[in-house]
Amino acid sequence: MMVKETSPGLLPMQIAKHYGFPLQYTGKEQSIAIISLGGEINMDELKKDFQAMRVPMPDIKVVLVEPESITTEQNQMPSGETHLDVEVIGSICPEAKITIYRGPNPSGLAAAVKKAVADKNSVISISWGASEIYSDQNSEMESVLENAKKEGVTVCVSAGDGGSSDSRNVADADGKAHVGYPASSHHVLACGGTELLMKNGERSEVVWNNSNIGRGATGGGVSHLFGLPSWQSSAGIKIPSINTGKIGRVIPDVAGLAAGGDWKIYQSDKAVLIGGTSAVAPLWASLIALINEARAESGKSQLGFVNERLYDLAANGDLFTDITIGNNKSAPNYPGYDATSGFDACSGWGTPIGSKLFEALTKLE
C-alpha cells in the first residue's frame, strides 16, 4: 500500500464509474468480508471519513480472531490498510454488510478466512501476502481457500506491490522473479495493478510500475509452488517462468488502478492519495458483490469461485480493457514480465469493462 498526502486523485465511486460498474446496485443483502492483520479499527474515525466522502456510513462490524495472540504492538500499528479496504467497498456497496475479520499478523490469516467462510460471506477481500520465496506452500491456508471455493465464496487477493521481485527493497532481493502467496493459490482471484495516464485529455492505463522512484510496482509472474491450473491451460495460457522456463500458475488474473496517485480516500478526516494492489482486491470484491446482488434478484446463486468461467468468457469475448504497455520489473535490469496483447503476467486479462462483465456474469446459470 502506498500513501501520499495531497488533494487530487479519484474517490472509490469515481473509479467505479471509470470502469463502468453497475452502480444501480448497492450491494443490498450482500455480505462482504475484509481480512485485516493490522492495527485497531477506529469506527468514529471511519464515520468521519465516510462523511468527508459524502457516503453514508455502511453496516460495519469487527470480529476478532485469535484475540489472545494480537499483541499490544500490533494494536498500535497503523490501520490505513483496513481503512482503504473498508472505504473502497463501503463506497461502492453502501448497503452491503461489511465484516472486518481482524487477527494477528501473520498467524491469524488462515483462521480469519476460515471464520469469514463459516459466517457465510459471499465475497472475501485479502490485501495481504508474502513472497513465495519466504514460505513453502501453506497447507492450512490452502485447505481454507479450497473450502471457500467449495462453499461458493469468491476470494479476491492483492498481487503485491513489490514488482517482479515481490520485494519492496530490491537490494535485499535474490535477483530472481517471485510472486506472492496467497495470490498464487489456485483458489483465488489475483488482482494486479495499473496506472492511469492522461494524454490530450484522454485517459489510458499502463502497467503500474513506479519502482524507479521507490513507490512500488504490481506483483505478477509465474508461481514456483503451484502448477498451471486447468482454467488457465484451457484458455491457452502457458507463460514460462523467467527464472526456470517452467510453466506454472500465472498471476495476476485481473487488474485495476493501483498507482499511489490514482486513489483518494480519507484518513483522520484528511484527504490522502493512496494505492497499491491493496486497493484492487476490494475493488474487484465490490464488483463481484454487485453482480451477486443482480443474480440474487433473478433467483440465481452467487458467483463463488469465478476464475473458470471468467477465463472462458475472457478468452472468447471482449470483457476487459487490454493493458499492452509497461512491465513489472523491480529495477531497470531486474528480470520481470512485459505487458502484451491479451493475457500477460503483469496485468492478467486487464482492467474490467464493468457493463460487459456484469451482463456476461449475470447471465450465467
CA distance 90 to 282: 10
Strands 189-199 and 202-207, how do they pair? antiparallel
Catalytic, out of 85, 161, 166, 262: 85
CA distance 133 to 122: 31
The answer to whether the CB of 159 falls within 8 A of the CB of 132 is no
Least Cα distance to 82 among 256, 255, 274 occurs for: 274
Report the half-sphere exposure of 205 (CA within 13 A, side-chain side).
Answer: 25
CA distance 179 to 159: 8
β-partners of residue 217 are 162, 209
Peptide bond into 282 cis (omega under 30): no
Interhelix angle for 80-92 vs 280-297, to 10°? 30
User: CA-based angle 331:337:343, to the nearest 5?
Assistant: 150
Catalytic, out of 278, 286, 330, 347: 278
User: In the annotation, is 87 catalytic?
Assistant: no
What is each CA distance from 21 to 94, 121, 238, 315, in whole angstroms? 14, 21, 30, 21
What residue ranges in 283-330 does DSSP mark as E strands? 320-321
Least Cα distance to 262 among 272, 273, 278 occurs for: 273
Phi, psi of 71, deg, nearest 5: -80, 160
Q: Which three cell numbers stand for residue 70?
A: 494480537
Report the half-sphere exposure of 364 (CA within 13 A, side-chain side).
Answer: 18
Catalytic, out of 31, 36, 79, 81: 81
Q: Is the dihedral of CA 321, 324, 325, 327 positive or negative?
A: positive
User: In the annotation, is 81 catalytic?
Assistant: yes
How far separated are the first and last CA of the chain, in Å rounded? Answer: 36
CA distance 9 to 11: 7
Least Cα distance to 90 among 351, 260, 265 occurs for: 265
User: In the annotation, is 107 catalytic?
Assistant: no
Catalytic sites, residue numbers: 81, 85, 278
